Amino acid sequence: MNSKEIIDKLLNGEMKLYQVDKYVSPKEATDIRREFIEKTAGCELPHMANYSLDMEKASARNIENPIGTIQLPVGVAGPLKINGDYCKREVYVPLATSEGALVASINRGASTITASGGVNAHVISDIMTRAPVIKTSSASDALKIKQWFIDNFQELKEIAESTTSHGKLLKIDPILIVGTYVYPRFVYSTGDSMGMNMVTIASEKILDKLADETTGRHIALSGNVCVDKKPAAINMIEGRGKSIVADILIPEEIVNKKLKTTAEAIEEVNIAKNLIGSAAAGSMAYNAHYANMVAAIFLATGQDAAHAVEGSLGITTAENRNSDLYFSVNLPDVPVATVGGGTSLETAHEGLDILGVAGSNKAREFGEIVAATVLAGELSLVGALAAGHLARAHQELGRG
């Protein structure tokens, strides 16, 4: 069939969108689907049609029923000096966003950090989790299933690790029991991959063993104790992805010159807004806007954008130390990768190249860069609030 015949069949309901790939190349299938959507929606999509990605590769690994791409402006902030365990240099950070003033704000924070000698950053934990839910007949049987996991851990570890050359099962903890349901939280290390697919496949193999040896019946491969793509206290406490801390001591004169305020004012804003205000609201994110920086850098580097909800978790602290400012961010849950998934898309790979972290053995370095970027943006916003400059900045930059 030619393109016109396929479009006619789509319009007449004689063919589904996913069936187009059976008859034409991935590139042509993308164009056909887009033309069908244009006719159906009564619009034109010339910008979605203009892209440089290899759609054949993308449709094999990253997207179904493609019709083109979207485009977001990408800016850079920097230089940002980082004194990490893995990243010990200045970087320029690519940030994809349509929010005016965001890159300028992060850039101001980066300038403050660099003038102060750099931000310290440390990856304190590096794990990925999967927690299925298992059904039993009684609470007593649930306890037996829990003990089965404990007694057979070494064998289960070997089974899980037989499915991957990079993943390691570190522990099964906690193993929660709620009535007749059991929620074992499998905790893995996954190397430079973010690892969700890896740990899912490995965990499924363990559940096959469970089915052979016990009366437990797994209801769902994810029972939401993982916790993936949702804010959760367990991830705040136990960590998920990269758990990272970053901090800096900024001299009084730099606080005054760069942020136009004082350490005392920033400390008060942080306590009143990020700590007390967040507690009053029942928030799990005791910070000003981690998600802004996490989402922008994730979009620029091919991370799973939905994990920005996890990256939004964390606590900002600020202390007035004899008029110098101590400032820190704690990010317990930042799932990132430098290989696999969306990082293989051409534009995402370029974003990682800008940071110098594309490829293997770079994921922890990338995590430190994310945390340093979050501190830069957090510092700038809290400083702007302390100085009373927030509305003016958005008026001048966000509205052109």
Catalytic sites, residue numbers: 99, 304, 394
Amino acid identity, residue 322? N
SS3 (DSSP) at 247: strand
Distance CA 32, CA 47 (A): 15
Please, which residues have CB within 8 angstroms of residue 107's CB and are 6 or more apart in sequence? 77, 78, 376
Please, which residues have CB within 8 angstroms of residue 63's CB and are 6 or more apart in sequence? none
Distance CA 384, CA 375 (A): 14
Compute the C-alpha angle 287/391/325, nearest 5°.
45
User: By the 8 A CB rule, do 33 and 20 touch?
Assistant: yes
Range list of H helices, 214-287 = 233-238, 252-259, 263-269, 278-281
SS3 (DSSP) at 174: strand
CB-side exposure of 383: number of CA atoms within 13 Å?
29
Distance CA 278, CA 236 (A): 15
H-helix or E-strand spanning residue 81: strand 74-84
Distance CA 176, CA 158 (A): 23
Instruction: Centre a 10 Å sphere on the Cβ of residue 35 and count the other Cβ atoms it contains.
Output: 18
Residue keyed to tokens 């009143």? 272
User: By the 8 A CB rule, do 53 and 347 touch?
Assistant: yes
Distance CA 131, CA 181 (A): 12
